[in-house]
Chains A and B, each alone.
Chain A
Amino acid sequence: MAEKKIIATTSLAGCFGCHMSLLDIDERMLDLIEVVEFNKSPINDIKKFTRKCDIGLIEGGCCNSENVHVLKLFRESCKILVAVGECAIMGGLPAMRNGIPLKECIDEAYLNGITVHANVNKTVPNDPELPVLLDKVYPCSAVVKIDYSIPGCPPHADLLWATLYALVTGKETEIPYEVFKYD
Chain B
Amino acid sequence: MAEIVRVYIDGKECLAQNGEYLLQAARENGIYIPTLCHYEGVKPKGSCRICTCKVNGRLMTACTTPIAEGMVVENNTAEINEMRKAIIELFFVEGNHFCPTCEKSGDCELQALAYKYQITAPRYPFLFPTKRVVAEYSRIIIDHNRCVLCKRCVRAIKDAEGRSFFAYRRRGQHIEVILDKRMSEQMDYEKALEAEKVCPVGAIMARRIAFTTPVGHRKYDKKPIGSDVEKIK
Q: Which residues of A contact B (CB under 8 A)?
A: 83, 86, 89-93, 95-96, 98-99, 136, 139, 141-142, 146, 148-151, 153, 175, 177-178, 180-183
Contact: A183 with B131, CB < 8 Å?
no
Contact: B105 with A183, CB < 8 Å?
yes
Q: A93-B98, A183-B105 are in contact. List 7 more A-B contacts (CB 8 A).
A: A86-B100, A99-B145, A141-B125, A149-B121, A153-B99, A181-B115, A183-B100
**B182 contacts A by Cβ under 8 Å:** no
A93-B100, A98-B96, A183-B100 are contacts. A177–B115 as well, Cβ < 8 Å? yes
Q: Tell me, rounded to whole Å, the shortest Cβ–Cβ distance linking B11 to chain A.
A: 25
Q: Which residues of B contact A178 (CB under 8 A)?
A: 221-222
Q: Which residues of A contact B96 (CB under 8 A)?
A: 95-96, 98-99
Measured between alpha carbons, how far is A153 from B121 in the docked complex, in Å?
A: 13
Measured between alpha carbons, how far is A149 from B89 in the docked complex, in Å?
A: 14
Measured between alpha carbons, how far is A5 from B210 in the docked complex, in Å?
A: 45
Q: Which residues of A contact B126 (CB under 8 A)?
A: 90-91, 139, 142
Q: Tell me, rounded to whole Å, the shortest Cβ–Cβ distance linking B145 to chain A.
A: 8
Residue of A nearest to B123 (CB): A141
Measured between alpha carbons, how far is A2 from B176 in the docked complex, in Å?
A: 57
Q: Which residues of A contact B224 (CB under 8 A)?
A: 177
Measured between alpha carbons, how far is A151 from B117 in the docked complex, in Å?
A: 13
A93-B98, A95-B98 are contacts. A175–B118 as well, Cβ < 8 Å? yes
Q: Which residues of B contact A177 (CB under 8 A)?
A: 115, 222-224
Contact: B125 with A142, CB < 8 Å?
yes
**B61 contacts A by Cβ under 8 Å:** no
- Residues B85-126 near A (CB distance < 8 A): 92, 96, 98-102, 105-106, 111, 114-115, 118, 120-122, 125-126
Q: Which residues of A contact B120 (CB under 8 A)?
A: 89, 148-151
Contact: B128 with A153, CB < 8 Å?
no
Complex partner residue of B121 from A93, A95, A141, A175, CB under 8 angstroms: A141
**B212 contacts A by Cβ under 8 Å:** no
Residue of B nearest to A181 (CB): B115
> Most A CB atoms within 10 A — which of B100, B111, B129?
B100
Interface string of B193-230 (1 = CB under 8 A from A): 00000000000000000000001000001111000000
Contact: A182 with B121, CB < 8 Å?
no
